[in-house]
Amino acid sequence: MLDGHADEISRLIEPGRVHRRVYTEPAVFELEMERIFARAWLFVGHTSQVKNVGDYMTADLGRQPVMMVRHRDGKVHVLLNRCTHRGPKVLNERCGNAKRLTCCYHGWSFDTDGKLLGVPVPEGNTATFQNDQYNLARAPRVGEYRGFVFASLSPTGPSFEDHIGPMKGNIDDLVDRAPDGELALDVGMHRYVYNGNWKLQVENVLDSYHVPFGHASTVNQQGVQFARREGDKEGAAVVEVKEKKTATSWKDRKSFIVGNGHGWTSNTELADGKRSSPAFDAYKKALVEKVGAVRAEEILKPRLHNSMIYPNMSIMGLNIHVRVIKPIAVDRTEVTIYPIRLLGAPDSMNWGNIRLLNVTHSAASFVQTDDLESFVRAQKGLRSLHTDWVDISRGLGAEDADPEINAVRGLATHELAVRAQYKAWLGYMQGAA
């Protein structure tokens, strides 16, 4: 059994490999809940999910239930979803709107900034009872960048700026695609739960190696994937059909890492400038009107997608969405996928994006289901006691610096992004309380 000492944890990770216990051992998962999910900056939600006063959404940061609520002064609060009387979750729905937040058990009610407003039958209170001693607890630290709200459940640790700084450009890349410079995550979601460890999904987000094989049923027919994007006739060439091998353009794609477990892959081959359809053309026109032709051209060639903001959120650029990864147990994970509405883009363009996401990433989609099958098989295979190590050594030693964007880069079919995640993992896991 794991005793949680830094030495013992460090033995689980070696250069280019990870011990199978990292995925299978409940004691490792318990420590992750304490040392990663109760401390790290985690994505909570987007301000567009609580647009109006009284709007709320609930989430779990690791095991701790939280709520994000819009107060009357317009401020968004991240509060612990735990009644200060005897403990129940105050809000039980995933999202909604409320004037006040009332606990189901004895009816204590709280304001949308967490202040205790009233206690039924107050004559039973002790003489020293004061409402302000019973406000809902708030997340010790909250940070926001362009509508993306993150919280840390630890009062200490690296600042929000230190954490998110290297990934701001990735968020900009996405948000700038909206002609109004703003996004909304208000068009529903896809949610799936799989019987596998949460890190299998995190590793997969930047894994370009698996695409020609794991997604053979969608990429091999014509050698393209995601050609269903609004106005996109070509898509990304993943395989060369005649030669039956991974396409050179795919093999040449790059991955980048910037510390903290964060990273991204480039999508430069997509040449969004060449996309054309009535909806996409109207979108381009709206973008040019807002930002000018030169800037629009730059925006349509995003460099920084797909992105992993370690440990629980990713931005996918090909078929745009935000993904939130929530560990439930050592072998069970919930993933939520939010389609993105680009404000200022024509509805037809936004609907095109949502339709594509239905095809690629819904629970019954052509693409995401392939990955889930791999995760579930991995979790089963890792029960084997006769092969201890998971290999993540592709491209080890072949990384080099990209001074222009202050990152380390390698080929996207290499595993540098996964190694970077385990470096961050080890840092969190070795940090004593």
Binding stretches for ligand FES (CB under 6 A): 83, 85-86, 88, 103, 105-108
Pick what 108 binds: ligand FES, Fe ion, none; C-beta below 5 to 8 Å, kind-dependent.
Answer: ligand FES
Q: Give the pair of three-digit tokens for residue 398.
A: 């072949």
Kindly report the CA angle at 100 between 37 and 154, in degrees rounded to 5? 20
Question: Where in 241-340 does DSSP place strands (E)?
Answer: 245-246, 254-257, 263-265, 307-309, 313-316, 321-329, 332-339
Shorter beta-carbon distance to ligand FES: residue 88 or 140: 88
Pick what 371 binds: Fe ion, ligand FES, none; C-beta below 5 to 8 Å, kind-dependent.
Answer: Fe ion
Q: Nearest approach, Cβ of 131 to ligand FES (angstroms)? A: 13
- Strand ranges of the sheet holding 148-152, from the earlier edge strand across to the other edge: 42-46, 148-152, 141-145
Helix axis angle, 198-205 to 416-430, nearest 10°:
140
Pick what 106 binds: ligand FES, Fe ion, none; C-beta below 5 to 8 Å, kind-dependent.
Answer: ligand FES
DSSP string over 328-357: EETTEEEEEEEE-EETTS-HHHHHHHHHHH
Q: Would you count residue 399 as binding Fe ion (CB under 5 A)?
A: no
Q: Nearest approach, Cβ of 371 to Fe ion (angstroms)? A: 4
Shorter beta-carbon distance to ligand FES: residue 122 or 155: 122
| Dist. CA 369–CA 371, nearest whole Å | 5
Shorter beta-carbon distance to ligand FES: residue 106 or 274: 106
β-pair partners for 96 = 56
Binding region for Fe ion (CB under 5 A) out of 145-153, 236-244, 316-324, 371-379:
371-379
Pick what 209 binds: ligand FES, Fe ion, none; C-beta below 5 to 8 Å, kind-dependent.
Answer: none
Among 173, 232, 272, 371, binds Fe ion (CB under 5 A): 371
> What's the count of helices (H) and strands (E) in the chain, helices before strands?
14, 28
Kindly report the CA angle at 418 between 427 and 225, in degrees rounded to 5? 150
Pick what 37 binds: ligand FES, Fe ion, none; C-beta below 5 to 8 Å, kind-dependent.
Answer: none
Q: Nearest approach, Cβ of 115 to ligand FES (angstroms)? A: 15
Report the relative pairing of strands 263-265 and 254-257 from DSSP bridges: antiparallel
Which among 307, 270, 269, 291 has a CA at the least distance from the CA of 405?
Answer: 307
Q: Nearest approach, Cβ of 108 to ligand FES (angstroms)? A: 4
Shorter beta-carbon distance to ligand FES: residue 86 or 99: 86
Binding region for Fe ion (CB under 5 A) out of 258-266, 368-376, 403-411, 423-431:
368-376
The footprint of Fe ion (CB under 5 A) covers: 371
